[in-house]
A and B are shown apart, each in its own frame.
Chain A
């Protein structure tokens, strides 16, 4: 099925460990986004890539880095995980804004 694919779906990390969340879309969208979702706080934008070759910070970028590997793929890296980064992470992509974002199914990350 066409859409946004995120891996892994679940992950448990120890404090200080690093990991990369992967995201790929097959809709030829220009823009891609990483959000985190915490209880009662909606979705907050971490980083985004308006087009291939560009990345920019969102509302809550501290502790994260991103790479727009090509038009399809946009990865999110945690260099030294902290318990405050325990959250559900969503990747999304957008072509024309008229059609909104397409979201992946999320990665549930727990940092202990």
Chain B
């Protein structure tokens, strides 16, 4: 079956540095991708999304890069802050699937060192 996986379960970075969280997906039909942030005791929150007709999308301090050739996407967080400490999930879906089901990766915990 299709799967979405993250490369590292935990990432530790120094406050102020840039963070890069990676994700791989298996389904070539996936054409819509989302990054979520989950803080302790809360539900996942939408960060940024990207469609397969793009290879880069920028938000406020965050950038998502998509490489369809190797089925890989990454989330870059600039100038990482203590408030960025959370678990980050990537998720994939197909716009052809009218149910809009999202398949989630297992998550990467981002730890920000002061």
Contacts and interface: CB of A to CB of B under 8 A. Distances in A.
A92 B89 CA distance: 15
Q: Place the interface of chain A in its size category.
A: 20 to 34
A106 B43 contact: yes
Nearest to A97: B100
Nearest to B89: A42
Interface in B60-103: 89, 93, 95, 98-103
Q: Place the interface of chain B in its size category.
A: 20 to 34
Nearest to A104: B43
A97 B32 contact: yes
Interface string B16-41: 00000000000000001010100001
* Most chain A beta-carbon neighbours within 10 Å: one of B4, B34, B102: B102
B43 A90 contact: yes
A40 B103 CA distance: 15
A29 to B, nearest CB: 10
Given A42-B89, A56-B99, A58-B101, A103 B106 contact: no
| Chain B interface helix/strand/loop/mixed | loop
B98 A50 contact: yes
Nearest to B87: A42
Contacts of B41: 105-106
A45 interface: yes
Contact of B46 (A45, A99, A105): A99
A101 B105 CA distance: 15
Nearest to A101: B102
A31 B9 CA distance: 30
A100 B34 contact: yes
Interface of B: 1, 4, 9, 32, 34, 36, 41-46, 49, 89, 93, 95, 98-107
